[in-house]
Amino acid sequence: MSERLVSSFFLLMSLVYVYSANELSFGSMSAPKAGFLPKISGTIAVVLAIIMVARSYFPNYASSGCHFNWRRLCFLVIGLMVYVILFNLSGYLATTFITMVYLLKVTETEGWLTPCMLSVGIAGCFYFVFVTLLGCNLP
């Protein structure tokens, strides 16, 4: 019952957020404006909230007593804080690559080749999207 209430509250707040974001101009993919990120993130939040509400009605699929690893969460948060600090010092590509390798190893991704290849792919794809497609300057 409490999961259903929390999910419904999250859905309501997400809908309010999306409704409020409609006042901002969206722009386009090549020239995003102030409403670009709020509308996209709000829509994603609404979809996730609908999934949460739907799962709360089916107890077989609801999470029950799963073990949560607080140590891993702390290492993830520390890694993200270090990323923010190093971002302007080292630049986007190097910092993103190193942080992604670290985060993938903290989440116990097997081997070294897979995390390194994923990190190169993620850093390269986001660099391409922001610099080439959106024309943003990254450090």
Dist. CA 48–CA 71, nearest whole Å: 26
Q: What is the pLDDT of residue 68?
A: 67
pLDDT digits (tens, 9 = 90+) for 16-55: 999 998 888 888 777 888 888 888 898 999 999 998 888 8
Domain boundaries, the chain: 2-56, 70-133
Dist. CA 8–CA 131, nearest whole Å: 38
Q: What is the pLDDT of residue 100?
A: 93
User: Contact at 8 Å (CB) between 79 and 90?
Assistant: no
CB neighbourhood size of 14 (10 A): 20
**What's the whole-model pTM score?**
0.55
Dist. CA 21–CA 9, nearest whole Å: 18
